[in-house]
Structure 1
Amino acid sequence: MQRIPFDLEAYAQRVQSNPCFICEVVAGTHRDGWHEVVAQTEDGIAFLSKYPTLLGHVLVAPKIHHENVVGDFSEDAFLRLMRLVHRVARAVEATVQVERTYLLSLGSQQGNSHVHWHISPLPPGVPYHQQQFHALMAENGVLPWTQEQANVLAGQLRAALAH
């Protein structure tokens, strides 16, 4: 997997000093347009990562700004969101080559506090020492990525979700 360097310090500064980017994606006011929405439900939204470390990296979040991954949800609300995670992960697996799909919730009260889950598809053939956390860490670089590529992949994911 060819990767390009990622400026983690600039990213941290941006997410710690700007409004919640997930709330902006939900509202349709996100400034750069990079986060292509691939699915929505009444409660949740799924969109491509602007800084993917793996091709097909999608984020799924509740539309309401929640910060506690378990405590801010009733069991029913949590399970509705997990159904969206499952549907989107299946679409990702139908769209890109996958050896293993990683699902995890990341974020921090210090930045990216809006609860969200990452769907990160590990392609076949990645050496073991470059899998798992190594494959997910932007510190190890991000994929070269254009808006046009994001548009194409988002369309493929939307088509897979329609089936």
Structure 2
Amino acid sequence: MRERQPMDLDAYEVRARRGPCFVCAFVAGDADYRHETVAEDDEYVAFLDRWPTLPGKVLVAPKAHLEHVIRDLDTAAYIRLMLFTRTVACAVEQVFTPERTYMLSLGSQQGNAHLHWHIAGLPTGVPYEQQQYQALMAENGVLPFSPQQNRDIATRLRQAVASARL
């Protein structure tokens, strides 16, 4: 796995807690919240994490501003979101062949309130003490992918998503 670099966690917290909703800003095309899109339909969008802790870490979110996975989604909407999320997770598995694929919803009313799922493939060979939450924590650094590397990763993931939908 690539060497991680430190992340400015204080600046991130200010952005998450005081800035606009990062998903809504991204969906609206705000240049300060640009990400590489991996998949999209009328309801949902998947995009590369700006500060990945694992290669190909993707966020999946409803385009509409929803905040609660249980309260804001009826059963049918939840199933549609999870099927979309699973398609993206299958693409992550196809492209990165991880030892394990992590999927979890994070955020809170205090920051990053927009409902979103994290999909992160754990590379094979990561020592056990660096797996699970340790592998996901930005406090342990983020992977320094260049814009071109992110475009390449997103392209590979888009191709995998397209082939999964056939």
- The TM-score with structure 1 as length reference comes to 0.96
Q: Which runs of 5+ in 2 are unaligned?
A: none
1:71 aligned partner, one-letter code: R
Residue correspondences, number: 162
Higher strand share: 1
Contact (CA 8 Å) 2:25, 2:33: kept in 1 or not? no
Map residues 55-94 of structure 1 onto 2, 5 A cutoff.
55-94=55-94
Structure 2 counterpart SS, 1:51: coil
CA apart distance, 1:32: 4.9
Runs of 4+ in 1 over 6 A off after TM superposition: none
Question: 35-44 or 46-55: which moved more?
Answer: 35-44
Identify the residue that residue 54 of structure 2 maps to in structure 1.
54
Map residues 3-22 of structure 1 onto 2, 5 A cutoff.
3-22=4-23
Identify the residue that residue 27 of structure 1 maps to in structure 2.
28
Structure 1 pair 21/30, CA: closer, same or farther in 2 (3 Å)? farther
Distance in 1 (CA, whole Å) between partners of 2:32 and 2:41 is 22
Contact (CA 8 Å) 1:60, 1:118: kept in 2 or not? yes
CA apart distance, 1:30: 3.9
Identify the residue that residue 122 of structure 2 maps to in structure 1.
122
Contact (CA 8 Å) 1:38, 1:48: kept in 2 or not? yes
CA apart distance, 1:65: 0.5
Contact (CA 8 Å) 1:105, 1:116: kept in 2 or not? yes
| 1:38 equivalent in alignment to 2:38 | yes
Root-mean-square deviation (CA, aligned residues, Å) is 1.0
- The TM-score with structure 2 as length reference comes to 0.94
Can you list the C-alpha shifts for 1:9-64, whole angstroms capped at 9, x where unaligned? Answer: 1100111111111001112224253x111111221110000000000100000011
2:140 aligned partner, one-letter code: N
2:70 aligned partner, one-letter code: V
Structure 1 pair 15/88, CA: closer, same or farther in 2 (3 Å)? same
